Amino acid sequence: MSYVTIDRKWKNGDKIEIRFNYHFQVKSMPDNPNVIALFYGPVLLAFQVNEEVILKGNDADILKNISKQGNSMSFTLKNNGKEYTLMPFYKVSNASYGVYATIRNEY
């Protein structure tokens, strides 16, 4: 962790804007590399589903098919002939969701 000191005289209306350059990441479970979770920067994403999520491909294939919806924290993943909606896990409330997906590449 680090800190930044801003030493200046502040005026009404002054603002500080911080921009983070987040990327999508795949993290595998330590005991099973075919069970994954998706992250946007440090944010765990949840699939809005009520069934097991089965994905195909490798990490790169999965990541190239995730997109962010405008400036919102809503995401879409296209994989295995399906389109999934994802949202930050911290925003899930009273909905069916899953945070893990299983990769199955047998055809």
- DSSP of 80-93: TTEEEEEEEGGG--
Q: Assess contact for 20 and 68: CB atoms under 8 A.
A: no
**Stretch 38-59: mean pLDDT, rounded?**
95
Rounded to two decimals, what is the model's pTM?
A: 0.81
What average pLDDT does the structure give for the chain?
Answer: 93
Residue 97's pLDDT band (boundaries 50, 70, 90)?
Answer: very high
Residue 107's pLDDT band (boundaries 50, 70, 90)?
Answer: low
Most confident of 20-24, 35-39, 49-53: 35-39
**Stretch 43-48: mean pLDDT, rounded?**
96
**Pairing relationship of beta strands 101-103 and 54-55 according to DSSP bridges:** parallel
